[in-house]
Amino acid sequence: MPLETAITDVEQLKEKPALACLLAWRPEAVKAVKWDRAELTIWLERESIREAAKRLRDDATKFEFLSDLTCLDWYPADPRFEVVYHLLSMARKDRVRLKVRVSDGDPAIDSITPIWPGAAPFEREVFDLFGVRFGGHPDLRRIMMPEGWEGHPLRKDYPVEGYR
């Protein structure tokens, strides 16, 4: 989905705890916001994901649980990839989805493993299947495909029958 279609009026959503926390910290880090089907999605700039995750975990919002981390390939659009983080505040029974756009030319983003150690296998899976690198990851290597495997099979430009 193009980022332009995801923009919702930020003023209408400022009372949402996750968005309020991020706007109070660094409003320029928030690129877009969407409220759809009672779910909040926040697009962030690539450079701020680790600090934003730390703030959401440690702030009064208490998003203490990373339930999922995955990736989308929007080929041939640029930026091509969207790394998606699903966070849960069990104390407040609240969820938020963070998304970060990553270009094909430099598919790299900071690891959030220092914030949530459980992110390590999710990041390895995204690296293995999409080729997005996570800076600061303690053990970034293939997790599903064999070590000698060529390419990243969930990329949309990956050949259907693999490389021959």
Annotate 57-86 with b (16+ C-beta within 10 A) or e (fewer): bebebbbeebeebebbbbeeeebbbbbbbb
Give the per-residue pLDDT at 12: 78
Find the largest Cα–Cα distance for the chain: 54
Q: Tell the residue number behind the tokens 């069990």, with chain if given.
A: 90
pLDDT-derived band at 89 (thresholds 50, 70, 90) equals very high
Residue 50 near residue 111, CB atoms below 8 Å: yes
Question: Does the pLDDT at position 74 exceed 90?
Answer: yes
What is the per-residue pLDDT across 1-41, written as a single tens digit (0 to 9) for each? 445 445 566 777 888 999 999 999 999 999 999 999 889 99
The reported pLDDT for the residue numbered 162 is 67
- Mean pLDDT on 87-116: 96
pLDDT value of position 62: 94
Predicted pLDDT at 47: 97
Q: Is 90 exceeded by the pLDDT of residue 138? A: yes
**Percentage of the chain surpassing pLDDT 90?**
82
pLDDT band at 97 (very low <50, low <70, confident <90, very high): very high
- What does the pLDDT average to over 90-115? 96
